Amino acid sequence: MVARRIENVKRKKYFQAIETNGTLPIPNNLDWVTLSPKVSESKIDKCFFKGVTELKYIIHKGQTKIPKPNIKAKYYFLQPQSDNDKINIINLNHCIKLCKENPLWRLSPQLHKVWKIK
């Protein structure tokens, strides 16, 4: 059923994207898949996620090591944990440092929190 809907939308030339925390399987044939786990990645079934476009982790100062993902993606992002709708400068600087030390990873602030989108 879902696969048929995706194909119908594809025929109309719409770009289809999804962001998921990884707890449920996602349909195949989407144009962009963002995986942002909120749990240990070891609890995510890798067979759910073939073709992940980007993998994002929320990081805070206490996390001294870069995640070692077992899911392959095209892009890898670190997002500094915010304080509700305020940027936490300590977490931001920590993520910047981690990204500089690990060029595979890019910085991606949680703009929806800065812009107060709920």
- The predicted-structure confidence for 47-94, as pLDDT tens digits, reads as follows 566 778 999 998 988 887 888 887 889 999 999 998 877 889 999 999
Which CATH number do you get for residue 99?
A: 3.20.20.70
Domain holding 110, by residue range, is: 2-114
Given a contact cutoff of 8 angstroms between Cβ atoms, the answer to whether 78 and 95 are in contact is: yes
Classify residue 59 by burial, with Cβ atoms within 10 Å: 0-12, 13-18, 19+. Answer: buried
Alpha-carbon distance of 71 to 5, in angstroms, equals 26
pLDDT tens, 8-56? Answer: 888 899 999 988 888 778 888 899 999 988 765 555 666 566 778 999 9
Structurally, the chain folds into a number of domains equal to 1
Write down the residue that tokens 């999804």 correspond to.
18
Other CB atoms within 10 A of residue 4 CB: 8
